[in-house]
Structure 1
Amino acid sequence: MGLGLAAQASAEQPVPIRIGVIGPFTGPSADFGVPMLNGVKMAVDEINAVGGYLGRSLELVIKDDQANPDIGRSQSQALVNEKVVATIGFCNTGVAMNSLAVFNDAKLPLIVPCATGSPLTSTYPPATSYVFRTSPKDSIQAPFVVDDLLARGWKRVAVLHDSTGYGEAGAKDVEKALAAKHLKPVYVGKFPLGVKDLTKELSEAKAAGADVIFSYTVGPENAVIARSRQAIGWKVPQVGAWTLSFPSFIEGAREASEGALMAQSFIAEPSNERRSSFLSNYARKFNTKRIPVPMAAAQAYDATYLLAHAMFNVPSGKLEGPFIKAALEQPKRPYYGVVTTYDKSFSENDKDALSPNMLVMGVVRNGQISFAYPEDAKRNLFVQRKQ
């Protein structure tokens, strides 16, 4: 009798809602993959603590893509096969690009909180795309950084980028941003991931008369650029997208990283109650004094809440891809997030949540990322909404 009642109680337990998470949780890109995962975990734990979705808990189905495009595609298909209602993920643009069709063909929403390659949200026509993003795409990061370096008087730009989908797309965005200012790079150099020395390329850039290096690659290779510049005794600034904030760059380049400038959507300072709560809760939950890549964690945390808000707006609890997609595109109310206040962050024609006004310039100072300009620190006290 007791066993029968226990079985009946077990049978009546609400079925969890499965949400996919995919990213590089091991390997060279784990420095921003793990914070992304932690941001999702923290949000899900908070949501479950207050009842989940109508009494049903959220259950994460976690897949490690190891920053490998082929593994990423097979793991994406596994998520579809395991009946997730949506997926949050990808840190590497090339890995994500190889998997987009898996989600779009299955009509399952994918929210990208890390990867920034511009093609991710333009591969499919907006109205039919299931790909959303809460990270700043490179086509807004590149012009933002170009505007800054020109304001500083640096006009002879050397572009160094890796041969991945991220590096190739990012370099095109830089060249396009320069062309809008009637400029061209004085030097463009390309290299494979894993390169250990770039003194030849840096020497060529120096000979071309460059006065600034715009690098488009991930952390370890950014460090190789900085060390190679140092090795030839060339004292020019290094600027770039958000990857210059990664520990693999700062720790790998050591003193050669000092002064590097990069675009940031979130700098880990408690400038308002929401950000203060996020930073303290993350530190307590994961027993750490600092987040290795704060942008990855904050953007993933916000992505999870945006998905949860959309699920609550699905009519009659129909947690199916097309209904969740429509709810993401037609939010009922703003979500007060960590990075920003998401007010109509997505629409049928716009799948990118962040706009250029949300970016600030970060700088490496004494091995930490801080605001490059005092006025940005003051402006950060006021949440910038999408324009």
Structure 2
Amino acid sequence: MKANCASSGGVERLWRLVALWLTLCLLPACGEAPEPIKIGYCGTLTGRGADAGVVGRDAVILAVEQINARGGVAGRRLELLARNDGGDEETARVMDQELLDAGVAAVIGHMTSDMTVPAVATFNQRRVPLISPTVSLNALVGKDDYLWRMRPANAQLAKILAAYARDVLGLKRLVAIVDLANAAYTRDWMESFYREFTKGGGQMVERIEIEGALGGYAMAAARKALAAKPDGLTMAANALDAAFICQQVRKMGFKGPIMLAGWALSPALAQQGGASVEGVITSELACLPEAQPRLKRFEADFHGRFGYQPSLTGVHSHNAVQFLALGLEASLSRKLSLKQGLQSVGLINGLLGPITMDRYGDPTAALQLQVVRDGQLAPLVPAPPAGRD
């Protein structure tokens, strides 16, 4: 009997050891790094408009690297998956689907309204946030969806520029040039400019729609614009097209003011336009004094990493990643959905100054008129208070 009891106890101990061994085998290895959080970027990296897409991607890369160097988000690293929408709606749809199928928590993009507007329905259906650094379409304001924006609406940006043209510069007769390569944005921006400018008696004496200003297109647009005898020009076009048209109208002797929509604000404007874009005026987020050290650090880090100076598109893209990181932190720490986490982030310390975000993903920030001087954007007048239309 003793022998049997000892044998039974030995078998029991053996099974306990086997069970413990199996349990240990099924547990994650001690010290194993937590799974990274995948995020996506989708913008135009080739073809027309690629200048904005590339600087946006590079700013996102830098922001992700900086966040990971600080320990990530809630102890988890960010893993970036970047895609090229090619400036084509169908390509953008396929690339978005790739990112969503890869399990990204959110996507930074797109960089143009023409790519973003069709994408919103897909992201709404999948309940994945889409954060656009640059889109400012009026029709996207006040929607309870999965789109967040880092720039105020065209109604705000175009309004202060049109009012300045009319009330300060005293312009009466403007020609509008609209680039249809990003028609959703350019038509919307120009309509906002038109409403404000004509409200006080100004006239749009000619409206010219173009599809690219390379070669003879720029010359033809310039000739048609100057034939209307305007005292100023306003353009909603990408950087290269705006630069080409500025070159042509200056060669033809036009000396009046030229006002540009924010889409043109990339390094390519000054690189291509040279002296012809000196003095052009635009409206953008103001760089407030308290934010200048942050902006200078970003510019130095960006140049050190990529070897060129970032544009405002890079600033907005970096802000977008910081906003996403805050939303991820809130959602993980408070067990919220990412949409709820983003909605809980009411204030962002952006590279240019504070940005207030409402529950619909619409931002408010201080705006400022800016002018190109020595190839760089510089303040034209003091910034109005944050939130002023």
Tell me the SS of whatever aligns to 2:131. strand
Q: Which moved more, 1:133-142 or 1:242-251?
A: 242-251
How many residues were matched structurally?
361
Other-structure match for 2:204: 185
Query: Are residues 270 and 42 of structure 1, via their aligned partners in 2, closer, same or farther at CA, if it must alter by over 3 Å?
Result: farther
C-alpha distance in structure 2 between counterparts of 1:67 and 1:168, whole Å: 17
Aligned to 1:135: 151
CA shift in 2, pair 1:111/1:276, >3 Å: same
Q: Which residue of the partner structure matches residue 340 of structure 1?
A: 353
The residue that corresponds to 1:306 in the other structure is 323
SS for the counterpart of 1:53 is coil
Counterpart of 1:351 (choices 357, 361, 381) is: 361
> Does structure 2 retain, via aligned residues, the 8 Å contact 1:267–1:369?
no
2:130 to 96, 110, 120: 110
Which of 229, 251, 256 is equivalent to 1:209? 229
Please state if 1:324 is matched with 2:338: yes
Alignment-derived partner of residue 370 in structure 2: 362
Distance apart, 1:313 and its partner CA: 1.5
CA contact (8 A) 1:269 1:276 kept: no
* 8 Å contact kept, 2:174–2:205: yes
Distance 1:328 1:265, change over 3 A: same
Show structure 2 runs of 5+ residues with no match. 1-23
TM-score by length of 1: 0.84
Per the TM alignment, residue 385 of structure 1 is displaced from its structure 2 partner at its CA by 4.4
Question: What is the deviation of 1:369?
Answer: 2.0
Distance 1:269 1:223, change over 3 A: farther
CA contact (8 A) 1:211 1:236 kept: yes
Q: What does the per-residue CA deviation read over 1:185-219, in whole Å, with 9 as the maximum and x for residues that have no partner?
A: 11111111254334444333333331110001101
What is aligned with 1:92? Answer: 112
User: 1:110-131 CA deviation, whole Å, 9 max, x = no partner?
Assistant: 1110233333x24xx622x111
Name the aligned partner's letter for residue 325 of structure 1.
K
Cα deviation 1:232-261 (Å, max 9, x = unaligned): 222222111223432322222222112111
In structure 2, what is the Cα distance between the partners aligned to 1:362 and 1:96?
Answer: 26
Is 1:60 paired with 2:80? yes
TM-score by length of 2: 0.84
Give 1:200-239 correspondences, 5 Å limit: 200-239=220-259
| Amino acid corresponding to residue 339 of structure 2 in structure 1 | K
CA drift of 1:182 comes to 4.4
Give 1:271 deviation, angstroms. Answer: 5.8
Answer yes or no: is the 8 Å Cα contact 1:32–1:296 preserved in 2: yes
List alignment gaps of at least 5 residues for structure 1. none
Q: Secondary structure at the match of 1:305?
A: helix
User: Alpha carbons of 1:335 and 1:243: their partners in 2 closer, same or farther (altered >3 Å)?
Assistant: closer
Opposite residue 73 of structure 2, the aligned amino acid is Y
In the alignment, residue 41 of structure 1 is paired with which amino acid? I
Query: 1:258 is aligned with what amino acid?
Result: E
Please identify, of 183-192 and 263-272, the stretch whose mean Cα deviation from structure 2 is larger.
Answer: 263-272
Measured in 2, the distance between the counterparts of 1:270 and 1:335 equals: 14
- Aligned partner of 1:46 in structure 2 is 66
Q: Give the Cα–Cα distance (whole angstroms) in 2 for the partners of residues 11 and 76 of structure 1.
A: 34
